[in-house]
A and B are shown apart, each in its own frame.
Chain A
């Protein structure tokens, strides 16, 4: 039962970390909105799904790569990757701001109950997923391979592939940038102020509407970046991938302590590793079950998530 885990421990670990970083970025989208609005952003999974299409469109329609063409090299490679990343982030951020505008703003102004907002977010989430289903004819969309999946080196019997390395390094950089933005910038300070106490923040002259829009925007940027890395690793997308990934990422956010940016980081990484190990030991089909049982156990003993929720300094 455990042979696979022991045999391939290091390669599983590396795959888990790469998956974990994708979760980290998506759960940032959940955790930031939750911090400010105290509300699950149900549409974040579809924001992610739309983000993945940003990369596919860049690779396929802007740079005209096809399934058979040679992977890019040198400067061309960097150009394509960076523009795909930016495109994904742009598409996702745009979708996120749109979602805030359509599904959240009016209800927030009216000051209605949270469930109405939840259903309105579910409504826009269904609409976004279905729109993409119609656009793609319910078919999975493959992305041409731009980044060659060559093996860089071997460490303790584990192959280190280029795409995994790129994912881990770039995702870590994006995470650090976002975290610094929240910590240091004036806007980040405003976001933290709103998440601590909305009324006091308003009294201090914080423009609440702008802060909320920026929160959705930043969350969208992170989620979009996750979409790019998802394509880099898995090379295909579909209109319904948002649900599974979003669910896992939300679990990660709760696991780490929702509303807490560092919690999202640690929660995402633990969840990525946990999923990979669980699939190795019990088989892929029991992955989700294991994850949820772990989640329930964690919440039983640490109701605020593994790394706490109310860390005011890191909270966003």
Chain B
């Protein structure tokens, strides 16, 4: 099948380094200007029926891209099926909620804590769970996602079903204020985080952990025979994915100023997973495209309000049947080896 990713890669490789850097700069500038894309007469069709285009751009689109990239490290790079990714997002969000309302720390100071707690929980869950084979890992992570939600629902420190109200917004950075109805600032913060995560993934991919993950994904037994320490590298992948989710959660809580257990259901985990499989597993650009489409689509089709989830389910079904490798599949050479491995 026609593989856009390989075409893009061959064009990219034919460019000289200055052309590459200027292209990257142009793309970054264009994306950074995205919050204003809905301001010019005809482009107001980007506004969704309920919320403004700018609001949708921050949540769900930008946050889903961030979470998709995080989950992609776990599922796409190292082949570990995680069905409870929302747990780490929730841990980040509740860290922000609890510490933001009870201590005087601000969002930027809490961010490292959120990442730390998400990583810690990833480590604690991963230590027993990552010894298990694929499908068992799926059910254990799924259960973990539910546990976090149930615990948040039943503890008093998390406000039970009412959640936490009045989570503080971040203080201004470089003159950029963060207010409830000002979405551009949040978008830029998340955009910077996305760029950092992309950079991190690209660095990892060409270095030792990336090679270890690739080996684990293609064939665990062979990887173990070649001396890859399975548990250690799986744990790394799991905790790094968790860290990204936790960071997303902190920003999310700080933006919405209110969190409740209902926001962290199994559906969110599934949606993020669907984003990355839909866009193209293991491929950064595929994940970004998939997450943007799947996050925007349900908001856009709100005019068929009641049936939108139905349409969403059918879209997943049809696209997976037509393009099983996603819209932008991973590199051909990686895919061929994957087929042989199965």
Contact = CB atoms under 8 A, between A and B. Distances in A.
Nearest to B273: A119
B81 A289 contact: no
A33 to B, nearest CB: 12
A285 B153 contact: yes
Interface string A177-209: 000000000000000000000000000000000
A292 B147 CA distance: 8
A123 B317 contact: yes
A292 B278 CA distance: 29
A126 interface: yes
Contacts of A289: 147, 150-151
Nearest to B316: A123
A124 interface: yes
A247 to B, nearest CB: 7
A130 B310 contact: yes
B317 A103 contact: yes
A292 B125 CA distance: 12
B151 to A, nearest CB: 7
Contact of B320 (A116, A131, A288): A116
B306 A134 contact: yes
Interface stretch (B25-33, B138-146, B170-178, B205-213): B138-146
A102 B281 CA distance: 22
A254 B316 CA distance: 27
Contacts, number: 124
Contacts of B312: 126
Interface residues of B, number: 47
B21 to A, nearest CB: 35
Contact of A122 (B143, B274, B321): B274
A12 B254 CA distance: 45
Contact of A119 (B129, B142, B150, B277): B277
A120 B150 contact: no
B129 A296 contact: yes
Contacts of A125: 313
Contacts of B278: 119
Interface string A86-125: 0000000000000000110011001111011111101111
Nearest to A105: B321
A155 interface: no
B146 A247 contact: yes
A119 B154 contact: no
B39 to A, nearest CB: 34
Contacts of B131: 300, 303
A15 to B, nearest CB: 22
B337 interface: no
A112 B325 contact: yes
B291 to A, nearest CB: 14
B150 A127 contact: no
Contacts of B274: 119, 122-123
Contacts of A34: 135
B50 interface: no
Given A119-B316, A285-B153, A300 B277 contact: no
Contacts of B133: 303
Nearest to B265: A243
Contacts of A128: 313
B189 interface: no
A286 interface: yes
A251 interface: yes
A220 B157 CA distance: 43
A299 interface: yes
A250 B139 contact: yes
Interface of B: 75, 81, 128-129, 131-133, 135-136, 138-140, 142-144, 146-147, 150-151, 153-154, 266, 270, 273-274, 277-278, 281, 306-307, 309-310, 312-318, 320-321, 324-326, 338-339, 342
Given A106-B321, A113-B338, A288-B147, 11 more contacts: A113-B325, A115-B277, A119-B274, A119-B277, A122-B273, A130-B310, A134-B306, A243-B266, A254-B136, A258-B135, A296-B143
Nearest 9 interchain pairs by C-beta:
A123-B316, A126-B313, A127-B313, A292-B143, A123-B317, A112-B324, A120-B320, A116-B324, A130-B310
